[in-house]
Structure 1
Amino acid sequence: MKKSWVLILSFTSLAIQIIGYRILRSFPNFIETYYSTGIYPYIARAMRIGLGWLPFSFGDVVYVVGGLLMLRWLIVYRWELIAPLRLRSMQESRRAYRQARKRYTQLFLTANILLLFFHLAWGFNYYRQPLNKVLNIDADYTTAELQQVSQQLIATSNMLHSQLQQNDTLAVAFDRSQEELFDLAPSGFERIASVYPQLDYGQPSIKRSLLTWPLTYMGYSGYLNPITGEAHTNGNINNFKTPVLILHEMSHQLGFAKENEANFIAVITGMNHEDLYFQYSASIFALKYCLNDLYRRDPALYEELKPDIKRGVFKNWQELRDFWAPYDNNIIEQASQATYNTYLKANNQPDGMRTYSYVVALLVNHYK
């Protein structure tokens, strides 16, 4: 009976955790004050200092080893987990229930620990104040304002393209290694921190993922490991997206968990970087977002602005599409994207991966 209480307690505590996290979504001020701008910056810096010096991803190793151990556990104890459903004799049933109780207790205790650690290490950031409130930026905008900012971005993108590529019809070449870009990226945060102190970055911990090929087939450019605080990039990507991708993952390290908010921070840090390639990467990344939104609002206005963009900019966008084309719509990508979309919705992002309008709202109100 005593062991049954352990099982009941482990299951009950897991349920309480899940309910508690749902309730915390209603208190973003509390999370913002006591976690996101309270203890989290110390947790994040400690993880980056502790693991940033390693030349490989410790988090990827943890994922692989942990995944293999979990798979082994499920294989070894699979019959004990389902035995009470199969057995008929009283003696067999009692023995099977004892074994099943032990395994489910282990399962619920492990889930409790992992869920609690995930939230303490990073996950509470999903429940913080929206970025527009943190940075005191409006979240509404008109089509006229969107047009104005789009025109500004077109002018900036064209100017940067001319500085980096003499031929208007050719793409800007991104030839630096990811490791070189890792070294350059933090200075973008240093320059913007004077305007937005919340973006003070500090010790870097940015790495090429050891799981690059699985990431590619799953359709991911990079990710943050919330357990170790390491930012990861897809090592196969070497195009205009790479600089802004690195800045995006670094934004997650600062506690901005939502994808749309990390995209916005990547743009403003990239645009304020002293390196022209970072500026160009951020500029045409932002321009693409604005043009997509403009097309949804007013296709005729989009067609009016489109001829003003250098053909070489379109070539850079095409390079990214060409990179992903061989992996589009494979079963691995479909399953992983559906899973990640569900994960985002479960973590206070009701629109899932469809976050265009909020990114554009932040961009328009920042640059107008």
Structure 2
Amino acid sequence: MSEKRCFIPPATVLPLWAAERLSGPFALFLYRHVSKPLAALTGRLSALFPFPVAGVFAIGCMAAAAALIGCSFRNRRALRVLSRFLCVLLSAYILLWDILYALPAAPDGKLSAPSLNALCERLIEETEEAIPAFLERNEALLLDRALVLMRAQTGLPLERAKWTRFPGVFSALGISGLYFPLTGEALVNGDDLPDTLPFTICHEMAHQAGWAREEDANYRAFLACEAGSDPLFRYSASFTMLIYAMEALYRADNAAWRARVGGMSRALTDRFAAANGLMTAGPSRAQAAQRAVTDAFLRFSGEADGVDSYERAILLLAAHWGLTGGAT
């Protein structure tokens, strides 16, 4: 009997995962009454520490797992403890993150070339209006300013994002930011492109607010920046969405893309070229590996487009502005 007990804990995780994925009403009930309050509590506890708890938590878990694996060769009880330890981690992951993918998603669709052209025109206008705020930018208290915007947009008592302690590692891997659900922390790479950095903070905080899908997080972050009175965040949101929209327009109608680039001001052209240069320089092996892992993770979680799901936010934005006449 004792030999079989070590397999019981993982077996209890599978029904939970299957139930929240296969039953929408159950997933919604679990999210409202368990996951949402648990995530808020986790975030509040992590906010007590001025440094990111995620790294300490991850290292501690790996050390504990390694120690238990080592002990299991001499003591079978250690194997049972390891099994239960992994069960707790998997259950926490399901409740704090995976369940969010079981909630209703935005409808699929694709913008036509005319709709993309109109969206790019609107975004260029928005970005041109706000670019002076970037050129004369005040980057003080970015995390606090983002917190005000996201709390106003979501109506939730979100916690302040944190700068990662390892920006060099993040940059080497091509990571602008990430949300660590097991500690409820939104972590941001402070060395990221200054044009997109304010938006990235809001994007990671949108994950903290409960929007797991990348297109939803992008869209909610845009709404927060657009509705706020901070011109630097308005510029960052418009600029980031412009990059996505221009990439889509480039594939759909190259002539229209060239016309839009030709109509940009010199200041915006320089910033657009700087961002485009970073994206077209070619990823390093580490960045390519990170992108492949992220793509696989997103697809496994339910994002059919993988890393391309970030760009799907432009469909939501076009609908927000009434520019989806040619959507398919």
How far apart, CA to CA, are the structure 1 residues paired with 2:71 and 2:313? 46
What aligned pairs does 1:28-39 form with structure 2 within 5 A after superposition?
28-31=24-27, 33-39=28-34
- In structure 2, what is the equivalent of residue 208 of structure 1? 163
Q: Which amino acid aligns with 1:351?
A: D
Q: Does structure 1 retain, via aligned residues, the 8 Å contact 2:215–2:313?
A: yes
TM-score (norm 2): 0.86
2:103 paired residue number: 128
Pairing 1:131-146 to 2, within 5 Å after superposition? 132=106, 141-146=111-116
Residues in 2 aligned to 1:219 and 1:238: alpha-carbon distance in whole angstroms: 11
| Residue of structure 2 aligned with 1:188, choices 130, 144, 149 | 149
Shift of 1:100: 7.9
Instruction: Give the Cα–Cα distance (whole angstroms) in 2 for the partners of residues 43 and 8 of structure 1.
Output: 27
Q: Which residue of the partner structure matches residue 262 of structure 1?
A: 217
Aligned length: 322
Rounded Cα–Cα distance in structure 2 between residues aligned with 1:64 and 1:11: 22
Separation (CA, whole Å) in 1 of partners of 2:71 and 2:35: 38
8 A contact 1:241–1:320 mirrored in 2: no
Question: What whole-Å deviation, never above 9, does each CA across 1:179-238 have from its counterpart, x for those lacking one?
Answer: x1111112323544xxxxxx2232423111123333222221111111111111113225
Q: Which ranges of structure 2 fall in alignment gaps of 5 or more residues?
A: 323-328
Q: Does 1:41 align with 2:36?
A: yes
Contact 2:177 2:188 in 1 (8 A): yes
* 2:314 alignment partner in structure 1: 360
2:86 counterpart (111, 130, 136): 111
Check 1:206–1:295 CA distance in 2 against 1; reply closer, same or farther (3 A cut): same
Deviation of 1:111 (Å): 1.9
Instruction: Give me the whole-angstrom Cα distance separating, in 1, the residues matched to 2:99 and 2:215.
Output: 17
How many Å separate the matches in 2 of 1:353 and 1:158? 28
Matches within 5 A, 1:161-176: 161=131, 163-164=132-133, 172=135, 174=137, 176=139
Please state how far the C-alpha of 1:366 moved relative to its aligned partner.
0.8
Map 1:59-138 to 2 at 5 A. Answer: 59-74=54-69, 76=70, 80=73, 99=74, 102=77, 104-130=79-105, 132=106
Structure 2 equivalent of residue 283 of structure 1: 238
Aligned match of 1:55: 50
Once the two structures are superposed, residues 336-365 of structure 1 have per-residue CA deviations (whole angstroms, 9 ceiling, x without a partner) of 322222221221112211115521210110
Displacement of 1:264: 1.3
1:212–1:235 CA contact under 8 A, matched in 2:
yes
Q: Secondary structure at the match of 2:22?
A: coil
CA RMSD in angstroms comes to 2.8
CA distance in 2 between counterparts of 1:22 and 1:354 reads 26
Partner of 1:169: none
Would the alpha carbon gap of residues 64 and 323 (structure 1) be closer, same or farther in structure 2, given more than 3 Å must change? farther
For the structure 1 residues 276 and 123, does the alpha-carbon distance in structure 2 shift closer, same or farther, using more than 3 Å as the test? same
Give 1:337's aligned residue.
Answer: 291
- Tell me which of 347, 351, 357 is aligned to 2:301: 347
Report the equivalent of 2:20.
Answer: 24
Which letter maps to 1:232? L
Q: Secondary structure at the match of 1:353?
A: helix
Gaps spanning 5+ residues in structure 1: where?
Answer: 81-98, 166-171, 193-198
Match of 2:326 in 1: none
What is the aligned counterpart of 1:221 among 176, 187, 194? Answer: 176
